[in-house]
């Protein structure tokens, strides 16, 4: 009888201990999961407006709840500003004029460390110079100069300076950097000018490309093209250019209302062939007059001469006031050489600009925020064109805003 009684006491003590210790274990294991080096990073916004960063190993199946499994984003919304690499997150903080590295601590995405940079309110374009060396470019509207900062991300040491791109002239009062690409030891920077005020914004009618020697950053040549306007865009928001296997460089120009706001011009794709320092005059893939018949923005390379373009669908949105919240975006697979298009059979997507395509050797992951069918990661086999639903984000998710590889 006494044995029985002692057994019962032990059982009660065991249960009590479990109750007391389990939440701590859960917390610890969640921490471990977040910092143990997961494969992918997903940035989500919930229907209640809160933002979370999830780190996971597989996008192929299952369902995940960002609020339960993710780290809450504590700084002001910054998803459109992030640079992600090797498990680390970076951005420029406009308020403090500093370059910031973030970390995940106790289930929260918070500032880790920062370094002051001169004349930067945001990153317009970035490039990785090596494994640990990052170069960011931005226009400083007060000094009217294009600036660069090179950052060693291991210790956040920097070198900074200016890029000799001519300041806005005539009626123009602003400048945007649309792409930056190193090609055979030269830096190609695409840019355009704007006349812009709080009630009037449009883009100048010329695409400029400065070819600079590197690392001296002296202008060797400036190319001009007027077949479209607003080359590329801010590449922390989404991708607008790439180099193919054979060394040709492609970029998209986006005159639609959500980028250049010069919608009379067509959305189009330009090419700079390998070892040629000119924009190919014989190549212009006009998206607006193709079967797509709309403006597009994001542009991702999937390999073998094929790319994905994300295009808006007029008639489904009324203007910029609902451009971001109405599902109206299509994804098209493009054959760059033959200039053909084929629509991917995905639900219509919402969110004006998103880092939503991740290309791996066998699979292209595409995140889609549909109105009624939820937020999913889809998997495309670029060879066969077959599509499959993968990871689902719980129903309280409004948008998947970013998808990136962490390692």
Partner 1 sequence: MKISKELIEKYHHGRCTDEENAAVEEWLLSDGADETMEWTLPEEKAVLQSEMWNEISSVLPSSQETPAPKVKHGLTRLLWKPAVAACLLAILGSVLYSRKHESITREVIALNNSSGTENRDLHEKDFTLSIAPKSNVALNSKTGIMDFCGAVLISPKEDIELIFQGTCANPAQNREKVSLKKGQNYIALNYGGNAKTGEVIVVEEGAMVSLPPLVLKQLMHQFNI
User: CA torsion 5→8→13→15, rounded to 10°?
Assistant: -170
Q: Binding of partner 1 at residue 315 (CB under 8 A)?
A: no
Token output for 14: 């065991």
Which stretch in 7-15, 31-39, 73-81, 99-107 sits in contact with partner 1 by CB under 8 A?
73-81
Q: Can you read off the two tokens belonging to residue 217?
A: 């950053």
| Closer Cβ to partner 1, 199 or 245, answer by number | 199
3-state secondary structure of 61: coil
Work out the angle at residue 203's Cα, subtended by the Cα atoms of residues 142 and 399, and round it to the nearest 5 degrees: 90
Q: Which of residues 16-45 bind partner 1 (CB under 8 A)?
A: none
Q: Which of 23, 49, 282, 315 binds partner 1 (CB under 8 A)?
A: 49
Binders in 165-194 for partner 1, by CB under 8 A: 174, 176, 194
Closest separation in Å from C-beta 42 to partner 1? 18
**Contact between 325 and partner 1 (CB under 8 A)?**
yes
CB 130 within 8 A of CB 151: no
Contact with partner 1 (CB under 8 A): which of 87, 231, 233, 268?
A: 233
- Give Cα separations from 351 to 20, 247, 298, 330 (angstroms): 43, 32, 12, 11
Structure tokens at 72: 């809450």
311 burial class (0-12, 13-18, 19+ CB within 10 angstroms)? buried
Residue 258 or 334 with smaller CB distance to partner 1: 258
Give the interface segment with partner 1, choosing from 15-23, 60-68, 74-82, 240-248 (CB under 8 A): 74-82
CB of 61 vs partner 1, minimal distance in Å: 31
Structure tokens at 190: 């695409």
Q: Which of residues 202-221 bind partner 1 (CB under 8 A)?
A: 202
Binding stretches for partner 1 (CB under 8 A): 49, 77, 79-80, 94, 121-122, 124, 174, 176, 194, 196-202, 233-234, 237, 257-261, 263-264, 318-321, 323-325, 351-353
């Amino acid at each position: 009888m006494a044995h029985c009684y002692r057994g019962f006491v032990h059982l009660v003590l065991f249960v009590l201990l479990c109750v007391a210790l389990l939440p701590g274990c859960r917390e610890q294991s969640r921490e471990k999961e977040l910092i143990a080096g997961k494969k992918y990073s997903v940035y989500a916004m919930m229907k209640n407006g809160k933002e979370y960063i999830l780190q996971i190993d597989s996008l192929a199946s299952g369902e995940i709840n960002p609020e339960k499994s993710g780290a809450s984003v504590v700084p002001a919304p910054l998803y459109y500003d992030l640079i992600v690499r090797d498990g680390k997150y970076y951005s420029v903080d406009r308020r403090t004029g500093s370059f910031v590295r973030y970390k995940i601590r106790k289930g929260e995405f918070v500032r880790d460390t920062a370094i002051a940079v001169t004349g930067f309110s945001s990153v317009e374009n970035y490039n990785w110079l090596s494994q640990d060396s990052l170069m960011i470019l931005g226009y400083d509207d007060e000094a009217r100069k294009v600036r660069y900062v090179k950052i060693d991300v291991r210790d956040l040491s920097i070198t900074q300076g200016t890029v000799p791109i001519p300041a806005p002239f005539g009626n123009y009062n602003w400048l945007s950097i649309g792409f930056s690409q190193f090609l055979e030891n030269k830096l190609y920077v695409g840019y355009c000018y704007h006349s812009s005020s709080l009630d009037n914004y449009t883009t100048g009618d010329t695409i400029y490309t400065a070819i600079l020697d590197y690392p001296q950053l002296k202008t060797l040549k400036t190319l001009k093209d007027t077949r479209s306007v607003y080359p590329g865009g801010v590449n922390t928001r989404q991708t607008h250019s790439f180099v193919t296997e054979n060394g040709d460089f492609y970029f998209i120009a986006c005159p639609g209302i959500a980028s250049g706001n010069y919608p009379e011009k067509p959305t189009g794709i330009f090419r700079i062939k390998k070892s040629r320092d000119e924009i190919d005059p014989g190549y212009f893939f006009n998206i607006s007059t193709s079967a797509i018949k709309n403006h597009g923005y994001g542009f991702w390379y999937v390999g073998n001469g094929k790319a994905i373009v994300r295009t808006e669908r007029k008639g489904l949105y009324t203007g910029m006031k609902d451009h971001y919240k109405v599902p109206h975006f299509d994804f098209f697979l493009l054959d760059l050489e033959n200039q053909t298009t084929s629509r991917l059979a995905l639900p219509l997507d919402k969110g004006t600009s998103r880092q939503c395509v991740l290309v791996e050797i066998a699979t292209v992951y595409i995140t889609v925020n549909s109105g009624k069918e939820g937020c999913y990661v889809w998997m495309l086999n670029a060879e066969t064109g077959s599509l499959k639903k993968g990871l689902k984000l719980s129903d309280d998710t409004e948008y998947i805003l970013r998808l990136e590889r962490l390692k």
